[in-house]
Structures are given as structure tokens and as C-alpha cells.
Amino acid sequence: DTEVTQTPKHLVMGMTNKKSLKCEQHMGHRAMYWYKQKAKKPPELMFVYSYEKLSINESVPSRFSPECPNSSLLNLHLHALQPEDSALYLCASSQTAPGLINEKLFFGSGTQLSVL
Amino acid sequence: KNEVEQSPQNLTAQEGEFITINCSYSVGISALHWLQQHPGGGIVSLFMLSSGKKKHGRLIATINIQEKHSSLHITASHPRDSAVYICAVRGLYGNKLVFGAGTILRVKS
């Protein structure tokens, strides 16, 4: 199994809603990532978890709250989002901790989020 | 100036043509990645390079560390190769990827 699975694929939410994005991998990877991608732009790193601990937070607003319940699962909890948060949210994983040289990233298909 | 520059930004080719996408970077790196993203979102890692050349099927990636330049070649292009191709680098001491803006490739039949 070389897949990173993200659910849901599409999500529409209002600014007062609370929702969660889910990411799962069963490759035994110990690093997991959340990226945000606006249309026609490259992905922007949001968070990195290494061995289930948050190792990087790229100054992301607190309305985005990541959680790593175990080594296979990564969640992104959303609350009081703004319309400008509408984007594709991509999850990725890698075998080793970030910063090691020979690290290949495996990406999920993303969740397309629309905030109304 | 971005740390990672890709050219061209857009590329339209006829089926069967040989395609080259270029990536230049301005910092010392430990690895360079070529990624493919189809409409609909998912990103696939094509190559990870730190030196030399790699080949997978019709795809070839090369890197020249001294010139800080990498190329992605597609031989015998096909409409299913239509996608955005993204170059990303990891700095010598960094733990994050820096992405280029991507090259939008369209292969017409």
C-alpha cells in the first residue's frame, strides 16, 4: 500500500461551521505534512508532524488546528474559517523525519475546500 | 527573485514531441524533486535527484549541481502527460521543500 488517503475529497462549509479533514497512510511513514494550495500556485507548507509530534508550524492561524492521533493518521480541524481559506488542502507523508536527505514525499489527492 | 525558477510557465506540444522543462535554483541544495500534478489535485513524486541523471519510462531527469540547474525531459509525449510539473528543492540544512511555480504542460493529439 503506497497510498495517502484523504477524506473528504470536497468540502463546502460556512464561516461558523466546524469541520475536520482526515489523512491516512499505512506505509509506516513517521513524518506527515499539511499543505495548502491556491489555484495556479505551488503548495505552501502549513504543518509538519514528526514521530507524532508537531515539529513545524508555518505561522498558520489558529482557526486551523492539526492533530496526529497516531503514526498513521493526521487530522486538520477547521473552525471559523474565512472565504480566503478556500483552497486545495494536501496531505503528504515521508518515511523519515524531515531534513534527512533522501526523503521522498507521497501526496494524497487533496480536499478541495470552499468556505462560503 | 524566487529561489526556484521554472521555465517555461506554459507549454503546448503535439503528441509525440520531445519536451523539456527547466528548473534553476539559487541556493545550495541537498535534493531536488520533480512532481506531477493532474487537474483535480493529486501530486505524484516523479524523481528525487541529488546528482546525475535518472530515467523512468519516458521520463528523464538530469541535474547539474555546479550550474544549479535541472531539466525534466519527456520523450514521445502523449496527451495523458498533460499536467502541471513542479520542481522543488530542499536546502542543505533545511527541512522544508521550496517549490517552483510550476509548468503547465498540454499535449495535443
**Per-residue pLDDT band at B91 (split at 50, 70, 90):** confident
**Residue among B30, B45, B50 minimizing CB distance to A106:** B45
Q: Is A95 on the interface with B (CB under 8 A)?
A: no
Give the tens place of pLDDT for each residue, A63-95.
999 999 999 999 999 999 999 999 999 999 998
**Residue among A99, A102, A112 minimizing CB distance to B95:** A99
Q: Is the pLDDT of residue B53 over 60?
A: yes
Rounded CA-CA distance B101/A53 in Å is 30
Q: What is the CA radius of gyration of chain B?
A: 13
Distance in Å, alpha carbon of B32 to nearest chain A alpha carbon: 10
Give the tens place of pLDDT for each residue, A40-69.
899 999 999 999 999 989 999 999 999 999
Whether A42 sits inside 8 A of B101 (CB atoms) is yes
Give the tens place of pLDDT for each residue, A3-21.
999 999 999 999 999 999 9
Indicate left, alpha or beta for A28 from its phi (over 0: left) and psi (-120 to 50: alpha).
left
Contacts of B68 (CB under 8 A, 6+ apart): B24, B25, B26, B29
Whether A101 sits inside 8 A of B50 (CB atoms) is yes
Indicate left, alpha or beta for A86 from its phi (over 0: left) and psi (-120 to 50: alpha).
beta
